[in-house]
Chain A
Amino acid sequence: MMTPTPMIRLTAVVLDEHRQQISRALLSLGVLDMLLVKSLPEIDASQLREYPQEESRDDLRQLRSQLEGYLHAAEIDPYETQFRDISSLPLLDRAEAEKQLKKLSERTGTVRSRQRSLQDALLKLEEVDRHIKKPRRNVQSLPSYIVIREGTPPKGQGERFAQALSAYPSLYLQGEQTDQLITLRRDEESVIRLLERYDWKDAPSGIPIEELPLTTGVEQRKHELLIEQKRLAGELNEYITGQKEQLLYLWLQIRVHELTGEMIRYSSRTERTWLFSGWIPKQMQTRTEQVLAEASSGSCWYEWHEPTTAEDQASAPVEMNHRKLLFPFQALVKQYGLPAYGTIDPTLLVAVFYLSMFGLMFADVGHGLVLLGAGIIGHRRSRGKGFLFPLMGWCGISAMVTGILFGSYFGYPLIPPVWFDYHGIVEGHAQAGPVRSIYDILKITIYFGIAVISVGLVLNWINRIRIRDWRKLIWGAGGLLTGWIYAAGTYGAFYAVESGFQSLPGGVYLPIGIFLPVLLVGLKPFLLSPGPHRVMNVFLEWFVELLEIFSGYLSNTLSFMRVAGLGIAHVSLMTAFFEIARLIPSLPGSIAVLVLGNALVIVLEGLSAGIQSLRLNYYEFFSKYFIGTGTAYAPISLKRAGSAQDISRHKEIHP
């Protein structure tokens, strides 16, 4: 929980005749993050051979990508599909696959072509429509770009006439007595030729132009075209959905072929054996052994390597596998970086610190409830994707808890506070109890900051011990010497404040608490890299390092006062809105101010508190210990994440 999932490296040798069964079994299991066999330290690469390249990986990827394009058009996501056992899946017949895709392509092409014709007709109609609707000087005047005719084409020619007209932006309305034809003036020459060819007879009905059903006619025709366009899109959708099973089956064949090819690229061979290697989460070790034994009928040899050396640990992939509830905080950590293998995964601590900071800055039960509601609705609407809405929900809960502690309900002290009255303190009312003034609130946040930074330092020491980096444990940024100086400095600062800035602790405080670690920091170059050193360089390095420790840690600690600052701003804003509402004589006006005020505070303060909490976590907490050099765990599997195409994110194969 506090470190990434433990990994173990598998190196296996199996008979080449079992290659297909084993590769498929491992693909189904989906846990093997493959390593290039030739690059393994224990392997003598000169004894090994490569498998011949059967097919270009780009060709296969393109074939799959093309199929995914059609599936996506029908909103089918093959990566979300649960597939049955792939052990007996027939091998990909490339020619058959291409034939199927060609058929699909032709069908799609036909539909697209019809859609495009409709789109052309629709655009022409829209142009006519725009001109009809163009503002006119008076209702009788014709829009200058169109020509309206009334008349009749010869009997039985209506359809062919309409067809010929479709080459131009036009509207042809067939009536009982006479037809109406609207064309563009710019096409007049061609239209007249067309009318002559079809023997159009002008027959004005005498109805004033403004009473002609032009707009209705255009709208109706547009409506028909849009429905037809929709129908065609639906038709293609239906066609693809109707073949869903076959297409998904084809996709699976291509994908399995592609991924097994990928596995082959990582592996090597001898005369009769297949060698492969990769990282597996340790808890999957037994299951993997079973799968290997079943797929090879027991004819396999394998060995497991724990990542004990620094080299192994550097190459081991990192999987952060927290429960779904902690997913938003895991995402926050990942945004910063992946922790190096074997070091602390701070997700749980980030959850605690982030929510505490947010709650202290945004303490209100009502506002928290709104955030929680928005988080739940957003999470449902986004179909559980993303981490922002769950994070919002968590922030809402945190705000509600601190709201109860400080007695704030939409800025109103509905129920007495459990801890202290934040509103009362900010408004300057005398308080009983340990927290009485704004200075006390500031003090709480400084204590909180010291706690966060101290935890960060301790985590750094744990990380350094885990990766056996003894030098950085003692002398590194955030090492034991820094912790020593920080502890002594904090003690001295509080002592000085208590004494009214009159004195510092006496006795061994200064020699042991400050001077000794300061001196040890200065000795670093001599102890770590023996040899001649330039005095000036050593002195400068020492000076800069001390400056960094003293000023850096002081500003880091004081930085936490922003938690109090934003909390006070939150209370002040609510107080201001209540005051404005009180001054408004009408009740609806007051309510409107309160509602808008609350909304504004929720949006602006919520955003500020969220960002500031993140900033404090990243800069004041993470910077003390986080080693973000981890490589993502990307097992080869049928799922989207960690699939073959993503492997190239962190590993390049150079066969």
Chain B
Amino acid sequence: MLPRMHTYGFINAYIRSRLGNLITQKLFSQLEAAATVEEVTALLRTTLYHRELQLYSTTGDIRAVEFALTVHGIDTMKNILSCLSSSHHRFAQALLMEHEVEVVKQALRFWFDRTVRGRRTGQMPEYLYREVLVHNIDIDLLINAERMTQLHDAVKHTPYAQVFTDHLDLVPAEKQLFHLELALDQLYFSVLREAVEAMPREDRKIGERVLALEVDLEQMMRIVRFTALYPPEQRKGWQVFLPGGTIAGQVLDAAYAAQSPEDAFSILAAGCTSMTKDQGSPSRGDVYAKLSWVSSLIQEIQLEHARKLLTGNPFTVGSILAYRVLMRHEINRLVSILNTRKGQPGSGGIAQ
């Protein structure tokens, strides 16, 4: 018990102090009702994100604020994970890989837009996280690559190299990054699962439970999205399933083969232990409304599990995993609030 207290004592104090600073539902409602970014900034003046929001007053650029919020989230996780003992080193790195995979995907999108699609998106490579998270990846080379071999060189000696070898060459022919991105996600979840399995018993139990839930919900979101956006014949043969999770293979296959998102959701909900019987179904509105409904439901389930985790044994990885969910949700919600204000006068969006 003592080594656990030693490891998690400080982490818990840090997390608990930050939990008190989470944005309340009341403030979120006010933020969602805010008409301008200036108003959002004023409302967030007493929160942990005050400094990030202040960037807007000098840059007028919501992307700068979004990037600063992302960096805030990554740095907070890095700080927490740096307090873990060496026996959790692999787990800490696996968690940080989530952000690294995202950076790799974004860098690849720059390259893809420029070379395969032949267009400029107006996105700024400077809004990419550059510090080393886990592996030494040459982000500049990924963005600026002239030849395919340079892309392989950028991720040389990292776990991404094999994924690139397996999928990159198909990208120009298929004119999409889709399969490569799916493979990167699968890699992240595999690495995370292996890292969880290598942890001490008590942490492993909690880690496996949280990971299984995360995979189940992500799996569910993907399958519903694919069934909503692509006809069955087009999505046939795609490798969309993630490793881990509690939903049986045949349930996933059946849901993936479904004709509509409603059918896919019902099949998955019946086969997923995290779902209750009375959560309803995404039957109203257009396809995006249905996806949004499923997304909200999944977020709610994740938040509920995170809150439950926080009431459990504080001397486990549970509190870290719970806080990770809460903070990610908070930052995503803020980014979404800011984005919906892009078109408002004062945000600079219209003039651009």
Q: List residues of chain A with CB under 8 Å of any chain B CB.
A: 58, 62, 65-66, 68-73, 102, 105-106, 108-120, 123-124, 126-127, 130-131, 134, 145, 167, 184-186, 229-230, 232-233, 236
Contacts and interface: CB of A to CB of B under 8 A. Distances in A.
A110 B351 contact: yes
B60 A115 contact: yes
B146 A186 contact: yes
Nearest to A101: B35
Contacts of A118: 59-60
Contacts of A232: 60
A335 to B, nearest CB: 12
Q: Which of B58, B125, B127, B346 gathers most chain A CB within 10 Å?
A: B346
A131 B140 CA distance: 9
Contacts of B351: 109-110, 112-113, 116
Given A134-B140, A229-B59, 15 more contacts: A69-B39, A71-B42, A72-B45, A112-B346, A113-B348, A115-B58, A115-B348, A116-B351, A116-B352, A118-B60, A119-B64, A127-B125, A167-B120, A229-B58, A233-B58
Contacts of B143: 186
Contacts of A124: 124
A407 B344 CA distance: 67
B59 A70 contact: no
Contact of B126 (A65, A113, A123): A123
Judged by DSSP, the binding face of A is helix
Contacts of A68: 39, 42
Given A62-B35, A65-B39, A115 B146 contact: no
B73 to A, nearest CB: 21
Given A145-B140, A186-B146, A66 B60 contact: no
Contact of A109 (B41, B57, B345): B345
Contacts of B40: 69
B146 A185 contact: yes
A126 B30 contact: no
10 contacts: A62-B33, A65-B43, A69-B38, A69-B39, A115-B58, A115-B59, A115-B348, A116-B351, A123-B124, A230-B58
A134 B138 CA distance: 12
Contacts of B45: 72
B348 A112 contact: yes
Contacts of B352: 113, 116-117
A106 B345 contact: yes
Contact of B144 (A167, A185, A236): A185
Contacts of A110: 351
Contacts of B345: 102, 105-106, 108-109
B70 interface: no
Contacts of A66: 34-36, 38-39
A72 B58 contact: no
A488 B42 CA distance: 60
Contacts of B59: 115-116, 118-119, 229
B350 interface: yes
Interface string B36-64: 11111111010000000000011111001
Contacts of A230: 58
A116 B126 CA distance: 14
B347 interface: yes
Given A73-B57, A108-B345, A145 B144 contact: yes
Contacts of A229: 58-59
Contact of B347 (A109, A119, A120, A186): A109
Q: Which of B34, B43, B125, B352 gathers most chain A CB within 10 Å?
A: B125
A441 B60 CA distance: 63
B114 interface: yes
Contact of B346 (A71, A108, A126, A233): A108
Contacts of A134: 140
Given A115-B60, A184-B144, A72 B42 contact: yes
Interface in B60-85: 60-61, 64
Contacts of B140: 130-131, 134, 145
Contacts of A109: 345-348, 350-351
A69 B41 contact: yes
Nearest to A190: B120
A127 B57 contact: no
Given A73-B38, A126-B126, A111 B43 contact: no
A258 to B, nearest CB: 14
A118 B59 CA distance: 8
A109 B347 CA distance: 6
Nearest to A145: B144
A515 B41 CA distance: 66
A164 to B, nearest CB: 14
A229 B348 CA distance: 14
A549 to B, nearest CB: 31
B347 A65 contact: no
A115 B38 CA distance: 14
Nearest to B351: A113
Contacts of A185: 144, 146
A168 to B, nearest CB: 9
Nearest to A649: B26
Interface string B116-129: 00001000111100
Interface string B308-352: 000000000000000000000000000000000000111110111
B157 to A, nearest CB: 19
